[in-house]
Amino acid sequence: MSNTYSLVNPFDNSPLGEYEYTPWATLENQLAMLKEGQLSQRKTAAFQRAGVLNKLAALLKEHSEEMATLITQETGKTILDSRVEMMRAYNAAIASAEEARQIQGESLDSDAYAPAGGKIGVVCWKPLGTILCITPFNFPINIAIHKIGPAYAAGNTILFKPGPQNTASAQLLVKLCYEAGMPENTLQLCMPEFSDLDRLNAHPDVNAINFTGGTAAANAISAAAGYKKLLLELGGNDPLIVMDDGDLEAATTAAINHRFATAGQRCTAAKRLFIHANVYEAFRDLLVEKSSKLVVGDPMKDDTFVGPVINQGAADQIRTLIEQAIEDGASVALGNQYEGAFVYPTILENVSPTSEIMVEEAFGPVMPLYKFESVEEIIPIINNTAYGLQAGVFSQNLATIKELYEQLDVGTLAANDGPGFRTEHFPFGGVKESGIGREGIKYAIREMSYTKTLVI
C-alpha cells in the first residue's frame, strides 16, 4: 500500500477524503503509455483534436455547478468565484479547440539570402512530446485547462499533476477529458510523492514541464529537469496604480475584485496599491466603505465574497506580514482580524516601501496603500521586487500610461483595469522571477511545439 494523504475543507476542516500517492513504478508506466500516446496523437488530425476539446468544453458547462462546488470545498474559494472560474475554463477549452485548427507555420524562400538555392522552407509546428503539467490550488480547473487544452491541441500527451488539495476536482476533470474523447494514452493523472518530484522532472520521457506555482518549486524543477523546455508561471507582486484623473468608482471595484476575491490568493492579485496624493483620501474612504460591506463567511453561500485562505498556515503567514508592516509604521484602515483560516479584508496605510509586505508576495486579502506625488517616484518602488507579472493603472492620460508601460518590469499593463486582467487569447506571463514563457492559448501552443522544417 503506497503512502496516502488526507484533505480537509479549509472552511470547516471537514474531511474531503484520503488519497494514495502515485508510486514511482506507476509513474514510469504512465510515462511509457504517454510516449506510446505520442504516436496515436500524430495520427489524430487537428480537426479531431478540435472536436474532442469542443466536447470537453460542453462537458465542463454541463458539470459546471458540480465542479464549482468541488473547487469551493477544496480551496475555500466562494461559490461565485468558482462559477466564474468554470466559465473561464469553458472559454479556455473552446479557445483550445479553435486554436488546434490555427496551428500553421511559414513557407520561406531560400533565396532571400545568397547563395540562391531555389528552395522552399516549409516550416511546420510539431508537438514537443509528453508535457508534465503542474497546477496550483487557487484556480485548479481553469489553469489546468490553460495547460491541458493547448498541450493536447498541439498534439502532445500530458502527465497532469494537480495540487494535492484539488485531487477530487482533478479526477473529475480527467474523467470528463476521457469522456470527451481523449484516449488514456494522451492524458494521465498523477500525484507523486514529494521525494519522487526531482527524478520525475528529470525523467527522459518528460519532454517539457508546464508549471504554475511558487519560486521555490520552480528552482527545484529547473535544477532537476536538465535541458527541457520549461514554462514557469510563477508569483507576482502586482501593483494597482490610481492616478488623480482615475475613475475612483471603477478603481475601488477593481481593487476589491482583484484583491479580496479568492481571498487574495491570485498570482495577479493587486498586492500593492499606489494612490495619487490628490485623490488618496477620497479613494481610501470609498475603498474602506465598500470593503467593510463584503460578506466574509461560508464560501458555499452565494452572498459570501471572502472565504478562508487555503489553510491555517497560510493565514498565519499573512498575519505575520501584516503585523510586521504595522511594526514598520503602517496603520490599519480596515481589518487586521483573523479567525482560523479566515483573514478578514485588511487595508493598511503609511506602509514603508521597503516593508516585506511591499517587496514579497502576500498571498491573502491585504491591501497596503501607498500615497505618491509623481509616477517617477513610484516606478523604482514598484520595480523593487523580484517579481514582474502584471500591473493595472487607472488613468486616461496616454503619456502616463505609456511611461508606465515602458518603465515597469511586467508582462502586461492593463489601463483602467486591475492587474488581474486576463483573456484566453492575450499572452499571459511575466518577467524576472514571475517566470519564463507565455500562456494564452495561441502562445502556449507555440511554447509546447517546435519547428520542423521541410526544405524542398
Q: Which residues, numbered 193-252, are part of the site for a second copy (CB under 8 A)? A: 218-219, 221-223, 225-230, 232, 234
Residue of 29, 47, 184, 320 interacting with a second copy (CB under 8 A) = 47
Q: Does 154 bind a second copy (CB under 8 A)?
A: no
> Minimum CB separation from a second copy for residue 114, in Å?
5
CB contact at 8 A, 101 and 154: no
Q: Does 421 bind a second copy (CB under 8 A)?
A: yes
> Minimum CB separation from a second copy for residue 53, in Å?
12
Binding span for a second copy by CB under 8 A among 39-47, 268-276, 312-320, 343-351: 39-47
Residue of 106, 184, 323, 377 interacting with a second copy (CB under 8 A) = 106
Nearest-angstrom CA–CA distance, 193 and 24: 8
Nearest-angstrom CA–CA distance, 259 and 318: 13
**Helix (H, G, I), strand (E, B), or coil: what is residue 212?**
strand
Number of residues that bind a second copy (CB under 8 A): 86
Q: Does 286 bind a second copy (CB under 8 A)?
A: no
Residue of 173, 412, 445, 448 interacting with a second copy (CB under 8 A) = 412
Nearest-angstrom CA–CA distance, 257 and 43: 44
Which parts of 65-94 interact with a second copy (CB under 8 A)? 87, 91, 94
Question: β-strands 272-276, 449-455: how paired?
Answer: unpaired
Catalytic residue, from 85, 99, 233, 439: name it.
233
> How many Å from the N-terminal Cα to the C-terminal Cα in the chain?
56
> Minimum CB separation from a second copy for residue 452, in Å?
6
Residue of 112, 216, 293, 313 interacting with a second copy (CB under 8 A) = 112
Q: Does 329 bind a second copy (CB under 8 A)?
A: no
Nearest-angstrom CA–CA distance, 187 and 266: 27
Query: Would you say 116 is a known binding-site residue?
Result: no
Query: Would you say 307 is a known binding-site residue?
Result: no
Residue of 23, 164, 214, 427 interacting with a second copy (CB under 8 A) = 427
Query: Would you say 144 is a known binding-site residue?
Result: no
Residue 455: φ, ψ to 5° = -100, 115
Q: Which is nearer to a second copy, 47 or 194 (CB)?
A: 47
Catalytic residue, from 133, 177, 190, 267: name it.
267
> Minimum CB separation from a second copy for residue 387, in Å?
13
Nearest-angstrom CA–CA distance, 311 and 173: 23
Q: Does 450 bind a second copy (CB under 8 A)?
A: yes
CB contact at 8 A, 347 and 334: yes
> Minimum CB separation from a second copy for residue 129, in Å?
8
Binding span for a second copy by CB under 8 A among 43-51, 177-185, 293-301, 366-374: 43-51
Binding span for a second copy by CB under 8 A among 257-265, 302-310, 349-357, 411-419: 411-419
Q: Is the peptide bond before 299 cis (omega within 30 degrees of 0)?
A: no
Query: Would you say 218 is a known binding-site residue?
Result: yes
Nearest-angstrom CA–CA distance, 5 and 7: 7
CA 378 to chain centre: 26
Q: Which residue shows C-alpha cell 511509457?
A: 32
267 noted as active-site residue: yes
Residue 173: φ, ψ to 5° = -60, -45
Count of Cβ atoms closer than 10 Å to residue 116 Cβ: 10
Q: Does 276 bind a second copy (CB under 8 A)?
A: no
Site string for a second copy, 389-408 (x = CB under 8 A): ------xxxxxxxx--xx--
- Can you say whether the dihedral through the CA atoms of 401, 404, 406, 409 is positive or negative? negative
133 noted as active-site residue: no
Query: Would you say 215 is a known binding-site residue?
Result: yes
CB contact at 8 A, 180 and 52: yes
Residue of 6, 40, 278, 423 interacting with a second copy (CB under 8 A) = 423
Set of cell numbers at residue 194: 514529494
Q: Which of 141, 125, 149, 135 is nearest to 52 (CA)?
A: 149
Query: Would you say 121 is a known binding-site residue?
Result: no
Q: Which of 362, 367, 273 is nearest to 317 (CA)?
A: 362
Q: Does 456 bind a second copy (CB under 8 A)?
A: yes
Binding span for a second copy by CB under 8 A among 63-71, 108-116, 277-285, 376-384: 108-116
CB contact at 8 A, 246 and 280: no
Q: Does 417 bind a second copy (CB under 8 A)?
A: yes
Q: Does 32 bind a second copy (CB under 8 A)?
A: no
Report CA-CA distances (Å) from 26 to 33, 159, 166: 10, 12, 20
List, as residue ranges, the binding site for NAD(+): 213-218
Catalytic residues: 233, 267
